[in-house]
Every structure is written in structure tokens, then in C-alpha cells.
Amino acid sequence: MTSSFWFKKGDRVGDEVEISSTVSCGLDWQTYATAGDSQLLVVKEPLINKWADAGLLEKDVFLKLQMGEEAFFAIRSGYGYTLGPVDGLNQPERKEDALSFAISLKATREILEDQPLGNPIFVERLSRFLPTDDDRLNELSNDEVLGFWLSGGVKVSVLNFRKLHSLCWRIPVSDLVDVVAAGGFEVPKDAHLLGSNRGSVAKSRTARTDEATNSVEATPQNSDNKSAEFRLPGRPFLEEFFNEHVIDIIYNPRKYQAVGIEFPSAVILHGPPGCGKTFAVEKLSEFIGWPCYSIDSNSVGSPYIHETSKKISEIFDRAIDSAPSIVVIDEMEAFLASRQSAGSSGSHRIEEVAEFLRRIPEAIENRVLILAMTNMIEAIDPAILRRGRFDHILEVGMPSKEEVIALVSDLLANIPHDPALDIEKLSKIMEGRPLSDCAFVIREAARLTAKHGKSRVDEECLTEATHSLPPEGGGEKTRSIGFIWDEKE
């Protein structure tokens, strides 16, 4: 950084421009405020030559100033145009200003083939960002340049749309989507969902629909939907269901909003322990990528009356505040058992069911995806299972032979293995077992491969891995640890 300005108040630059105040300076550039409410950028010749050589501008758009033996070049912003270093600009007051900034950034990135701009000078009149040679400790990446300006000085990437939205909460989400897209950056397909958060219940349905429709205008639509294809190896039925009833609604909202469907309905998966319910929910949550909140005995269980209901309510509050988000209810029979079976001592259980009855519709209305799991669907209170709370109740059985083959093939795809492995033989052993056992066998086979110094999983290691499985039904006798009683005594 230079320590002094080249001009002072009252100096004239050229024939018409009078300096009114100094603004900012760098190694080979300085900016000034001028009479007439405009900005002036003055640069030394080596820097403007660098910009011209890069194809960012024509040198003759600047006014040449000869000061002694050194040449300077100046350009004035003109009334209504922004000019200055990004870290010296105020947040945009209008969408038009933000779009101009983003479009200029995209044009510059295309010319420089996305080379880092650092903390450049924005010259709106030229629709360019001009990189400087300043040695800045907090140099910004290109995706952070736009985020830094929109957020008012926070180093945030526009690729982290959720965080950007939280920092730019005054900017409507539809406008934020437009600006980020105009900058040439990818916008998440579910970005429009951030436009309706806590308090949306109080809005009329018409107002909410209009807001969502407006915001989705700039949401990228994937016609073939390949990038939005959720995969669940070994569970083709669940894979198809989640793609149709959850993923497609999230990523293609316009066609569903046109017929009154704004968000996916809540889902219950039920079946015996080990059937793969938790695995399916975890994979779906990971694919969607929203904040995920769990309701289970560890997170909300309490020996104190009313405390469990209070914790349940707090989790729903956090999920709604972070919407779009996911709430996973595990072992739902622990909280949502039929109220008719609860005696006088079970009044707190009735209270918990009532809390769920109240919060589930509210959460769905506020764009919270509800996924629940249970081993005992018959024990769940009928009011919870009613349409409008959980529209989809899916039974998940133990995997078939075909499902085992599909999962094992997918797991082996990422591991070096002998192509002659007998997957058919393994599927007969694993048929009817939990899918987690399949994952365990492949992982154990990989461990044995490394242990024996082999380069890929072969039939011997795979067979040895199956020997580590407990007998079906979990009937393996465990060894006792403790004192040995001598019967002779």
C-alpha cells in the first residue's frame, strides 16, 4: 500500500475534474471523490498495461495524464455508476445494482478464464473487475468476491447459498437466486425453499404460492433430472419411491405448485430390526444435504414430566428456523404409542403425542421434511397415522437375494476385487439378513485382503469374512467375563 495520495482536495485532473476528497489507494492505483458526486480512478502505466494485455479493456478508454516523467491514466465513473475496490463498496440497495455487479463479474471471469481476481477494483461503467497487484492477506476467491459484497464485508462464498442467504436476509431469496446465477455461479435446486421460513403459516396460501413461484423463475431446472437422481443400492422400491415422492418435488417445484403441491409429505418406514430403515433415511438425508435434526430417546428422553415434550418442541423450532430441513423420528413407538393404551400414569405420554400432532403439520407447512421409523407400526397412535400427518407409510422387509446382489455389487465397485468373485454364492448366504451385514462382510473382506498382503479382494478373503457373521437369529453364545466358580468348593 502507498502511504500518500497523488492528488489533494481542490486539484484538477484534466480540464474538467476537480478532486473533492481522497477515498482509497493501493500500490499503483488510487480513487478519489470528485465534484459532481462521481468517482475517479487513477492508475500508473504498468497496471493499465497489464489490464490491456489481458484483454480487459482498451487503453484509450482512460485519460492519459503526464506528471513529470511518469504517465498516469484516469477514468471517471459518471453519475450513478459505481467505481472502487470491492472492500470499499457499500452493500447494494437495489436489485439492479447487484445484477450489474454480478454480470460484470461474470464477464471478467470469462475473459480471464476464471483466474483469481483477489480484491479487484469494480468499474461499473466498463462492466469490468480490474485485478490489482496489492499483497492482501485476505485475498478473496472469485466466488467470495460476490459474497463479500452482498453480505457487507463477510468472507462468504456464493456457493454456500444457505449461509449467504442467512447473511443477506434483507434480500428476497428470489432476487438472491437471480444475482448469484447472473454471476455465473451454480444455484442449488432447492434454493427457492429458503424463501419461506418461520412465519409462513401466517401468510395466505396465495401469497406463499406467488412468492415461491417468483423465486423459482431463476431456479435451474434439470429437464432430464439425472443430477437429481437418488440412488439406494439394494432397495429399488425405496429408491423409486424417494425419487418420485421427495426428490422430484424438491427439485421441480413449478410443476407441482401448479396443482397445489408445495412440499413432500411426511414418510414412515416400518419393519423388523435390521431391515435397512435407518440406512435408507441416512442416505436420503445425506443426498438432500439439508440440516438434519433427530428425535430419539437419546435426544429428548427425560425422567421429568413435561421435559420430553419441551425438548420435542425445541427440536421442531430449530428445524423450522433452519428450513428447509429434515426431522428424523427414530423408534417413534417410544413417543407415539396409542394413547388408549396409556393408563393414568401415562399422562405424559399423551402429552407427547399431542405435541407431535400439533407440530408435524406446522413443520411440513414450514418446509421441514419429516422421516420416521418404527419396528412396531401397530403400536402407533391412530391419529398420527392419519393422512395429512404421514401420507406415506411404507413397509421395509428383509432384503431379497436380488437386493443383496445389487448392494454387494455397488459396494465392490469402489474396492479392487477379483472380477470372478462368486456374488451369487454370497447372496445365498446373505439373503434375509440385514443390509448392514452385507456392508460388514465387504468391509471385513477388504480388511483381510490388506492383512494378507493382497492387492484385491478374492474369493478366499470373501469367504473368510462371512465366517465372522453371527448365526441368523443372533443366537451366538457369548463368553462370560467374571469370577470362575469352582464346583468342588
Say what the pLDDT of residue 140 is.
Answer: 82
The answer to whether 404 and 430 are in contact (CB under 8 A) is yes
- 37-54 pLDDT, tens digit each: 789 999 999 999 999 999
Say what the pLDDT of residue 450 is.
Answer: 92
Say what the pLDDT of residue 188 is.
Answer: 85
- 403-447 pLDDT, tens digit each: 888 888 888 888 899 888 888 888 888 877 877 788 889 889 999
For residue 129, is pLDDT > 80?
yes
- In 3D space, the residue among 82, 80, 177 whose CA is nearest the CA of residue 121 turns out to be 82
The runs of H, that is alpha helices, within 190-258 are: 205-216, 236-242, 248-251, 253-257
Residue identified by cell 470491492 is 86
Say what the pLDDT of residue 302 is.
Answer: 57
For residue 346, is pLDDT > 80?
no
Say what the pLDDT of residue 245 is.
Answer: 93
Cell numbers of 484, please?
Answer: 470362575
Say what the pLDDT of residue 448 is.
Answer: 92
- 349-386 pLDDT, tens digit each: 677 778 888 888 889 988 899 999 998 888 888 888 87
Between 482 and 75, the more confident residue is 75
The answer to whether 442 and 482 are in contact (CB under 8 A) is no
125-141 mean pLDDT:
78
For residue 222, is pLDDT > 70?
no
Q: How confident is the model at residue 184 (pLDDT cuts 50, 70, 90)?
A: very high
- 107-118 pLDDT, tens digit each: 999 999 888 887
How far is Cα 259 from Cα 111, in angstroms, rounded to an integer?
44
Q: How confident is the model at residue 215 (pLDDT cuts 50, 70, 90)?
A: very low
Q: How confident is the model at residue 104 (pLDDT cuts 50, 70, 90)?
A: very high
Say what the pLDDT of residue 388 is.
Answer: 74
How far is Cα 54 from Cα 49, in angstroms, rounded to an integer?
9
207-225 mean pLDDT:
38
- 224-246 pLDDT, tens digit each: 444 468 888 878 899 999 999 99
For residue 257, is pLDDT > 70?
yes
Say what the pLDDT of residue 32 is.
Answer: 92
Q: 108-138: b or e for each residue (b if 16 or more CB lie within 10 Å)? A: bbeebeeeebbbbbbbbbbbbbbbbebeeee
Tell the CATH topology of 226-395. Rossmann fold (3.40.50)
Say what the pLDDT of residue 138 is.
Answer: 55
Pairing type for strands 29-34 and 17-25 reads: antiparallel
CATH topology match: 226-395 vs 401-466: no
The runs of H, that is alpha helices, within 322-453 are: 333-336, 347-365, 382-385, 401-412, 423-430, 435-451
245-254 mean pLDDT:
88
The separation between CA 236 and the C-alpha centre of its own chain, rounded to angstroms, equals 25
129-152 mean pLDDT:
81
Burial (Cβ within 10 Å: 0-12, 13-18, ≥19) of residue 213: middle
pLDDT exceeding 70 applies to what percent of the chain?
83
Tell the CATH topology of 401-466. Helicase, Ruva Protein; domain 3 (1.10.8)
Domain ranges within the chain, ordered by starting residue: 92-110+117-216, 226-395, 401-466
Cell numbers of 361, please?
Answer: 403439520
The dihedrals phi and psi of 425, each to the nearest 5 degrees, come to -65, -40
Q: Across the chain, which distance is largest between two alpha carbons, in Å?
A: 117
User: Residue 397: which residues within 8 A CB-CB, separation 6 or more?
Assistant: 271, 272, 275
For residue 290, is pLDDT > 80?
yes
Handedness of CA 73, 78, 84, 86 (dihedral sign): negative
For residue 345, is pLDDT > 50?
no
For residue 200, is pLDDT > 50?
no
Handedness of CA 118, 119, 120, 124 (dihedral sign): positive
For residue 334, is pLDDT > 50?
yes
- In 3D space, the residue among 416, 415, 438 whose CA is nearest the CA of residue 428 turns out to be 438
Local structure of residue 219 (DSSP, 8 states): S
